[in-house]
Amino acid sequence: MSTPEQLRQLIRALLDTQIQAVLATQHRQQPYTSLMAFAVTPDLRRIVFATYRATRKYANLLANPRAALLIDNRCNDSADYRNAVAISAQGTVHEVGVDRRTELLNLYLRKHPRLRDFVTAADCALLQLDVECYYVVSRFQNVDELRLDQDDAHPSSNEI
């Protein structure tokens, strides 16, 4: 069982070291996934990513802004069953407002400087996932939950 502070440290460490996540959206109850470059705010409450507006994922998010991002550190070998950590961040996505655009764009570009032309293109949307909950899976089946609307974690050891 992890304390909320231990979970925050684990989440922060993983999100700081990984550069890509899998975004899960849906359309007409059909899941759709996309590989995304991302950055996270220091308080872990927002995950920033970008996409062109003329994409399926963007259309899906307009129709249903509920989404999840999966970030993991697997190496694709048998040690992953013991060592890999996967984090699912769930929440609501919306386009970054004018008031925070500069701040969140700079956060994104510090992590992904090579994506400057992409993220600053006129037809690219800078989006943020307002995280409500993180699920942290470690040691293959240990699941911890960190809800950001509370300063409380709800660990469990259920198999997935």
Q: How far apart are CA 158 and CA 108, in angstroms?
A: 34
What average pLDDT score do residues 40-69 get? 98
CB-based contact 84:72 (threshold 8 Å)? yes
- How would residue 70 be classed by pLDDT, with cut points 50, 70 and 90? very high
Q: How far apart are CA 50 and CA 152, in angstroms?
A: 30
Query: φ, ψ for residue 60 (rounded to 5)?
Result: -60, -45
What average pLDDT score do residues 55-79 get? 94
- Hey, where are the domains in the chain? 4-153
**Pair of tokens at residue 123:** 């037809």
Cβ of 14: how many Cβ atoms within 10 Å?
18
More confident: 13 or 153: 13
**Pair of tokens at residue 59:** 């259309």
Domain 4-153 belongs in CATH node 3.40.50.300: no
pLDDT tens, residue by residue, 122-154: 999 999 999 999 999 998 889 999 999 754 444
- Which pLDDT score, from 0 to 100, does residue 153 have? 42
What average pLDDT score do residues 108-128 get? 98
**Does the predicted TM-score (pTM) go above 0.75?**
yes
Q: Residue 34, CB half-sphere, CA atoms under 13 Å: how many?
A: 19
